[in-house]
Structure 1
Amino acid sequence: MITSLFSKSKLLNFIIVFLIMLLAFILGNSKNGYESVIFGKVILFFICLLTVLVLNFIVSKNSLTQNNNYQILFFSLFLLALPNTTANGNILIANIFLLFALRRLITLRSQINVEKKLFDAAFWIAIATLFYFWSGLFFILIIITLLLYTDNNIKHWIIPFIGTACVFVIAMSVSIIWYDSFFEIFNITLLVSYDFSGYNSLQYLITMTMLFSFGLWSSIFYLKGIKQKKKAFRPSFKIVLFAAIISFVIVVIAPEKNGSEFLFLFAPIAIIITNYVETIEEKWFREIFVAIITFVPFLLLFL
């Protein structure tokens, strides 16, 4: 039933996703109180909604999945499984800027306005880095993208650094105006942490098991599926896979492990799992697979 409902893009699907996200947002932000920060909470929820819309736009416009809404369903369910991902404003903002960058990199497939797209991608990643320092690792994705397209144009390799430099100069100028200091505005922290004791709860253990087991299993078939795609589309699917790998690295090294760092992983994993669901021929197995991802976050509410 679930697979039938989300197998086609429908308005009802977006309403269901909206309600799931609203529940996740309420759970994730209830510990912080609402009395004096109502406006801030509304802004954060709007960013959550915008993230889903951007994800759906990226997927639909670049044919990363078939015409369905599984990816936004999975994304919203991941939020519900780890509602803390909706509470960290800096990570929410950084994540949506990274999605903007991902969109520009994927659209390089058309080989139109390559310079502008590379500049934009680097620009968005640099802005994301201002909000969450380790977002800067996604700059590696630009290098990987250029390698995937075997781009030998030296100008294309220089442009991303120019885009990054522009953000640096603008941010430094704002810092001088607001703080009378060159680097006060920069949120730079080179700290890493391999202390995973913060995940030592049933909610985290079950969610991480679901994410990594389903994600890894789906990735195996995702890699096989890339070979069957048209040659022009293959780099786009590989970019998503590398985005998932970089996101996983951020989760591992995140200096503060409170669950919000998993947000970077949700979008690429949702796309990868959606691609796997589309390949499942046995209807009963597809229903069970999607049902597990759907009901586990709701079961966690009672733990």
Structure 2
Amino acid sequence: MITSIFNKSKQINFIIVLFIAVLAFLNARTNTIIEPISILFVAKQITVFFICIITILVFNFIITKNSLTQSNNYEVLLFSLFLLTLVQTTSNSNILISNFFVLLGLRRIISLRSQKNIKSKLFDAALCIAIASLFYFWAILFFIAFLFSLIFYSDNNIRHWIIPFIGVATVFSISVGVSIVVYNDFFEIFKSSRSVSYDFSPYNSTKYLVAITMLFSFGIWSSIFYLQSIKKKKKDLRASFKIVIIAAIIAFVLILLAPKKNGSEFLFLFAPLSIIITNYIEIVDDKWFKEVFLGVLVLIPFWLLVL
């Protein structure tokens, strides 16, 4: 039933995804609103929700443009379900903006497979990830994806290795200038926390444990088959699929390092994990197993709402 609905790209799929995103957004704010309801507050919430939706649309565009999955909507369904699993991911505006720019950066990195406009793509990607790090410092870890992308494409052009650093330097220079003008201080704008925390006690609740267990168990299982399937992909697509698994690993490391562990840091994992699990669903031949597999992923987030 579920697989037949999302097996092909349809408008109704995005209506369902929108409903799940709205449910996650509203649930995250139930009993947590501490600000008085005002026009400014409502405008802020609408803006945050708009970022959530535009992130899903950009994610779908990246998938379609780079053929990272077949012509279906499993990946956006999974992304929205993950938002519902950990509704805290819709609350932190800085992480939402940071993740949005990370996706834009990964889009440019993955598009390197065309071997066209390499310099501009490297510069744009570095620019996006550097901007992402302004909102959430540890997003800078995704800069590692550059190194792997250049290795995967066997790029020996020294200028291509330097360009990403120029992109970062550009953002740094502009940010310092803005900081001087706005705050009369060189580095006030770089306020994102650079600290590290290994205190995982905030996850010690039923909702967190179930959610994290679901993400990692399904993610690890799917990753095993995902890695095996890369060899079967077209040669020009293999590097793109490798970058996805690298992005998932980087997101996992980011979660471990996150200075404040409240669940919102998992947002960086959702995009690569959705692609990995979708690729696994696509290679499953047993229809009933596929239905049960996807059915569990759908039911758990809704079950967590009533816990």
Task: Tell me if TM exceeds 0.5.
Answer: yes
In the TM superposition, what whole-angstrom CA distance separates every residue of 1:190-238 from its partner, at most 9, and x where no partner exists? 3111110000011110011110000000000000110001111100000
Secondary structure of the 1:141 match is helix
Picking from 180, 193, 200, the partner of 1:196 is: 200
- State whether residues 85 and 300 of structure 2, in contact with CA within 8 Å, keep that contact through their aligned partners in structure 1: yes
2:150 maps to what in 1? 146
* 1:284 is aligned to 2:288: yes
| SS of structure 2 residue aligned to 1:41 | helix
Q: SS at the partner of 2:269?
A: helix
What is aligned with 1:226?
230
C-alpha deviation, 1:189, in angstroms: 2.9
1:108 is aligned to 112
Matched residue type, 1:43: T
Name whichever of 21-30 and 53-62 sits farther off.
21-30
Q: Tell me the residue number matched to 2:4.
A: 4
Alpha-carbon displacement from aligned partner over 1:40-93 (angstroms, at most 9, x marks no partner): 110000000001001100001110000000000000000001000000000000
Give 2:7's aligned amino acid: S
CA contact (8 A) 1:119 1:162 kept: yes
Return the alpha-carbon distance in structure 1 between the equivalents of residues 193 and 46 of structure 2. 28
Task: Tell me the CA shift for residue 29 of structure 1.
Answer: 2.4
Deviations 1:123-153 (A, max 9, x none): 0000000000000001111111111111100
Letter paired with 1:27: N
Residue 260 of structure 1 aligns with which residue?
A: 264
Q: Which residue of 1 aligns with 2:33?
A: 32
Alignment of 1:197-212 (within 5 A): 197-212=201-216
Cα distance in 1 for partners of 2:42, 2:135 equals 21
2:47 to 29, 43, 46: 43
1:17 match: 17
Aligned partner of 1:163 among 167, 172, 179: 167
Could you tell me which amino acid in structure 1 is paired with residue 74 of structure 2?
A: Y
CA distance in 1: counterparts of 2:248 and 2:302, whole angstroms: 25
Q: Which amino acid aligns with 1:265?
A: L
Match of 2:130 in 1: 126
CA distance in 2, matches of 1:6, 1:140: 33
In structure 1, distance between residues paired with 2:284 and 2:211: 23
Match of 2:88 in 1: 84
Q: Is contact 2:52–2:96 with CA below 8 Å preserved after alignment?
A: yes
Letter in 1 for 2:14: F
Q: Distance in 2 between matches of 1:104 and 1:79?
A: 24
Q: How far does residue 32 in structure 1 lie from its aligned partner after superposition?
A: 2.3
Match status 1:238 vs 2:239: no
TM-score (ref. length: structure 2): 0.98
Show CA shifts across 1:87-144 (max 9, x none).
0000000000000001000000000000000000100000000000000001111111
The number of residues matched between the two structures is 303
Check the 8 A contact 1:132/1:187 in 2, yes or no: no
Secondary structure in 2 matching 1:227: helix
Among 214, 217, 221, the residue aligned to 1:213: 217
> For the residues of structure 1 that align with 2:251 and 2:194, how far apart are their CA atoms?
17
Distance 1:221 1:252 in 2: 24
Partner residue of 2:101 out of 86, 97, 100: 97
> How many angstroms apart in 2 are the aligned matches of 1:131 and 1:180?
20
- The list of structure 1 runs, each at least 4 consecutive aligned residues, that deviate by more than 2 angstroms after superposition, is 187-190
Conserved? CA contact 2:135–2:192, under 8 Å:
no
Contact map agreement 2:7 2:71 (CA 8 A) in 1: yes
For 2:84 and 2:142, the matched residues in 1 are separated by: 25
Q: Name the CA distance, whole Å, in 2 between partners of 1:52 and 1:171.
A: 28
Structure 2 gaps, min length 5:
none
In structure 2, give the amino acid aligned to 1:72: V
Counterpart pick for 1:137 among 136, 141, 160: 141
CA contact (8 A) 1:126 1:136 kept: yes
